[in-house]
Amino acid sequence: MQLSTKHLLGIKDITTADISLILSTAQQFKEVLQRPVKKVPSLREVTIVNLFYENSTRTRMSFELAEKRLSADTINFTASASSVKKGETLLDTVNNILSMKVDMVVMRHSASGAPHFLAKHIPAAIINAGDGINEHPTQALLDAFSIKEKLQTLEGKKILLVGDIMHSRVALSNIYLLKKMGAELMVAGPPTLIPKYIAEALQVKVEYNLKKALEWCDVANVLRIQLERQNQVLFSSLREYNLAYGVTKKLLDGLKKEILIMHPGPINRGVEIDSDVADGHQSIILQQVENGVAVRMAVLYLLSGSKNS
Ligand code: CP
């Protein structure tokens, strides 16, 4: 079985069959990761560059570990410590790296569309590790994997995305993916952080009352307020945001059911989520991080066209 695409630039452009193949391959790699010897030789002849133009903890380390578990050769590039600081362009940087015989590029960039631009100009396979406010496809894949692991299926499940929908690439990739896989989607948050087009264009429910949104869902994926991407004041204060939209234990205890709590990280404790919820028994936040390695192994393996399968 093969993916229908050479790159993973976003969830919008991949098929339901691609998503199912990545999730089932990730399940096999998750089993490998439970063994005493967690390494397989699948990408022994493949060299991968992790090209990070924006900060990251989880995604970067998860890709690095996935590459090592697959026996790939890896090099790491951090824009802030590179010749980008001397004015070198993205395309020059990447062409110089590729001349060292690199096969695949994992790329995070603050500009939406940066990996799509690169895909038009270079021969290597590109994996989008988050581009601006556009997409974060591997986050959506690991979120879907984690929901499926807990609830067996995505079909018919009610998934809530709560918080800064406007600036969230995680939200967009999750909406594309979960809708393709038959889930029902709702977004919740302050009106200023929810794009006006979203209900009609993406066919999602919109709710401005957090309690009602939590009563509706099976899973709440809580998103961070992305202060670094906001160039105007979109809510009065973090304290007031927490009072209206913070997910608290009191809110969860008031529901007639137990829902799953997710968060892509990094968490702003006491803003969008309280510590006793983030660390509570309904939270699968660290399981999301664990599953990220298996999901990224699957993506790398399937896009490599591996010679060692
Ligand atoms: N979830 C996520 O993308 O986290 P990082 O920014 O730490 O990679």
Print burial letters for 108-135: b (CB count within 10 Å at least 16), e (below 16).
Answer: bbeeeebbbebbeebebbbbbbbbbbbb
Q: Given the CA of residue 59, which atom of ligand 1 is nearest to it?
A: 8
The response to whether residue 24 sits with its C-beta less than 6 Å from ligand 1 reads no
Residues 300/66, Cβ–Cβ less than 8 Å? yes
Which one of 59, 62, 110 would you pick to mutate in the ligand 1 pocket, going by the greatest count of ligand atoms within 8 A of its CB? 59
Per-residue pLDDT of the chain (309 residues; tens, 9 = 90+): 899 999 999 999 999 999 999 999 999 999 999 999 999 999 999 999 999 999 999 999 999 999 999 999 999 999 998 999 999 999 999 999 999 999 999 999 999 999 999 999 999 999 999 999 999 999 999 999 999 999 999 999 999 999 999 999 999 999 999 999 999 999 999 999 999 999 999 999 999 999 999 999 999 999 998 767 666 666 778 899 999 999 999 999 999 999 999 999 999 999 999 999 999 999 999 999 999 999 999 999 999 985 444
Query: How wide is the angle at C-alpha 51 spanned by C-alphas 46 and 55, nearest 5°?
Result: 140
Residues 167 and 227: their CA atoms lie apart, in Å, by 9
Tens of pLDDT, residues 92-144? 999 999 999 999 999 999 999 999 999 999 999 999 999 999 999 999 999 99
Which one of 57, 173, 174, 223 would you pick to mutate in the ligand 1 pocket, going by the greatest count of ligand atoms within 8 A of its CB? 57
CB proximity list for 197: less than 8 A, separation 6 or greater: none
Tens of pLDDT, residues 227-245? 676 666 667 788 999 999 9
Label the pairing between strands 219-222 and 205-207.
unpaired
Domains and CATH numbers, the chain: 11-136+289-308 (3.40.50.1370), 137-288 (3.40.50.1370)
Q: Which two tokens stand for residue 199?
A: 């209900």
Residue with CA closest to ligand 1 atom 5:
56
- Distance, CA 61 to ligand 1 centroid (Å)? 9
- Distance, CA 78 to ligand 1 centroid (Å)? 15
214 burial (CB, 10 Å; 0-12 / 13-18 / 19+) is buried
The response to whether residue 228 sits with its C-beta less than 6 Å from ligand 1 reads no
The response to whether residue 264 sits with its C-beta less than 6 Å from ligand 1 reads yes
